[in-house]
Amino acid sequence: MRLSAATEYGCLALLAIAEERPDWCKRQEISDRFPIPTSFLEQILRKFTAAGIVVSRRGASGGFRLGRPASEVTIAEIVRTMDGALAPTRSVSPNFYQSTPVEASRAYTALFREVRDAVAGILENTTLEDIVDEERKNNRKSGRTGVGRVPRVRAREARR
């Protein structure tokens, strides 16, 4: 499984929104904290809004907020919203099945199904609330008061 940039940025955007609860989180607050290109962030937030993961409100007092408690948003749901299947091949995906060449081998099909089950098990059992809690715990240990903005230079280097 490989996450797209949209999913990685989406995870960061949802972290910023979840940490603002119950307040509305402005688009600018998200991009101030994380190096997400503005037009890309808008597309990501539209997908999350359509999926019901976030709700939006226009106006000066508006922004974005989770559509339900962070404890009810699984990381699997976030990944599926952005990237689709969690499975390494679509032929072993219960949600996004498509025939693939690897189905010619029962052994490979069984292996990739096992990989899918392991990944899905972890992501289905991890919630956005778990990530927020872990982030806060890590920030307390390091003495930081917030998530903080990742410098764009470092983000560019990480893509290489």
- CATH code of the domain in which 12 resides: 1.10.10.10
Number of domains in the chain: 2
Give residue 142's pLDDT. 75
Residue 159 domain-assigned? yes
Q: Are 30 and 144 in contact (CB under 8 A)?
A: no
DSSP state of 65: E
Q: 140-156, pLDDT tens digit by residue?
A: 877 765 544 443 333 43
Residue 114 domain-assigned? yes
d(CA 151, CA 34): 8
Give residue 144's pLDDT. 62
Give residue 140's pLDDT. 82
Q: 59-86, pLDDT tens digit by residue?
A: 988 999 999 999 999 999 999 999 988 8
Task: Tell me: do 2 and 60 sit in the same domain.
Answer: yes
Give residue 145's pLDDT. 54
Task: Tell me: do 68 and 2 sit in the same domain.
Answer: yes
Task: Tell me: do 5 and 27 sit in the same domain.
Answer: yes
d(CA 152, CA 74): 28
Is residue 105 exposed (0-12), middle (13-18) or buried (19+ Cβ within 10 Å)? exposed
Task: Tell me: do 25 and 45 sit in the same domain.
Answer: yes
3 state SS of 67: coil
d(CA 63, CA 43): 15
Q: Are 132 and 18 in contact (CB under 8 A)?
A: yes
Task: Tell me: do 12 and 53 sit in the same domain.
Answer: yes
Query: What is the domain range of residue 92?
Result: 86-126
Task: Tell me: do 94 and 154 sit in the same domain.
Answer: no
Task: Tell me: do 91 and 58 sit in the same domain.
Answer: no
3 state SS of 53: coil
d(CA 4, CA 143): 31
Q: Are 25 and 63 in contact (CB under 8 A)?
A: yes
Task: Tell me: do 64 and 27 sit in the same domain.
Answer: yes
